[in-house]
Structure 1
Amino acid sequence: MATCDPVMKEHLTQVESHPGSTSYLSPAVQNEFIHLMASAVRQSLLRGIRKARYYGLMFDSTPDLAHREQMSQVVRYIEFDYERKTVHVRESFLGFIQLSLKDAESLTEDILKRLEKDGMELQDCWSQCCDNDAVMAGHRSGVSQRIHEKNNLAVFVNCDNHSLNLVGVFFSRSVQRWEKLRNAVPVSVKSESETRWSSRTEAVKPVNNHLEEILQVLQDMIDDEDENLETRSDARQLCNRLLTYDFLTLLGF
């Protein structure tokens, strides 16, 4: 950065000529700078939301790359500029909420706690949008229904894009499935890269070396009556594909 930033160049020159002086270049300090800037941006967004008063909630939970469950928080609101006499619809991403449990009661509690922490009144929420998963959109005890019971003005709007997005990789789209796979297979099943051919070999190796364990995990899911019908059905289809002559023959190659 110093090659194109004279302020940074001057700072590095000062640090190099004075060993032991404070440089502010350690990873801990850099992370603190990032955290402070993120906090400032978030507080600015929250001031705009509170100024608009009424808002819509959009929540979605998904595992991150480390397979930890997290929920994204997006707020939709109307921004008025009375001087210019303009009106804009805004959607602000406010961050991720780390989740420990994924049942409707726990998710609702996490959402309400975050709203309270952000100083946003639930009674000012006039819409809520999420995917059509039973935990989120269930009309009896889903998250949307629980929020609607606390504020009947919070109208539920289904997100059709999520209906398509739910079609994903079998194991990685569920924390519970991934955990069962990890307990059975000592290495991680990897995804292939479109740009690196060597990654295709790395993606196939765990399946080739631990095929029996993977098949056993799938069979356990098929036989487990506590699993939902979708999981058992998907596991059965995947198991049948793994046991085809073509798959078993080409896997070694």
Structure 2
Amino acid sequence: MVDESRDVSGHEQLSVVLRLVDIEIKTSDENHPPSLFKEYFLGFIKLNEFDAQTLTDEIVKFLSSLNIDLNYCIAMCFDGASVLSGKHAGVQALLRQQHIPNAIYVHCYAHKLNLVICNVTKSVPCLSEFYSIISKIYTYFHTSSVTNETLKRIQRQLKIDCSILSITTIKKWAETRWDSRWTSIQSVIENYKALNQSLEELVDEGTERLIDTRGLLLALKEPLFVVTIFILHGLLGKIKILSDQLKSKSIDFGKAHTLISAVIHQINELRSQEEFSTLFGQITAFCVENNIELNVKVKQRRQTTISTRFKNCSVTSTIGQREKIDNDSKYRDFIFYPVIDSILVEMDDRFSKSNMEILRGISSLSPDSSTFLEGCA
């Protein structure tokens, strides 16, 4: 297993992990049978060039230096980067063509979830602006000791347990780690009151950060922001559980099939008026508690519309037009349903029917599976 990463100095490198099957392992303890599967981190490979052939040569050279015989390699696992996973000229293709012809390539299923969420944020118009606000909140409270100390003091006043860093720390949103998006959303929800009070206090001080402070305060109290954060928290929370399970050392293909199918079914079941009404009830209660008017009619200076140049054209790309979202039905139709639909489309694309059938076949060998030995004579 190989993945690209950067060290603290910004130098690109490959991290290499080896998973093996130990068929000679023995134990005298019948109650605790040993695991046949072992996993070892072998080290980093520093890179100066990043083309597929160079990466292939460096991987082979690194493994050979550790006296690892490539003839025993039965599979390789990378993420979806084209230089690694390319069908004809990627590292996986070159390794099979030049060194290990019988090895199979496995796309990291946890990384596929990252691709799902990344594409969802691009396909729903309001999400890019939403994540921009989340990122600015993190930057605002982590680049200044004044803002950071103000937030901590107000957290103590609100009796938020500051010893639990997972609760009080505002998490950073990262492009390459989708689950950081869920943790950043979670941290904003848990610290919403503290963030609002901190910004209100900092606005009154009138420092050089006044414009940024006032802008973030208005953004946090915007009904569209609150609705979006609750919708994403609920939907991404289900995928977060799946992501954690897929990264577990004990996961196998049978369990992966069951978990993926279950999450897809759960998300599909959420697409109903009843589920949205339940969620909107929670949002309404939150807004009442924090003095936010949900269905307020915001006066807009200018409504962006489609240019007359496109009057008789079929437009298939975004052109700046935005729908005014200011009531529950529009929150449902323009955020809740589109996010669910986008997730389901991406999940179906990334976890294709053929792949799921393979996983289903493997899961049929497990006694815990509902399809155990299904179709066997």
TM-score, normalised by the number of residues in structure 2: 0.30
TM-score, normalised by the number of residues in structure 1: 0.44
Richer in strand (by share): 1
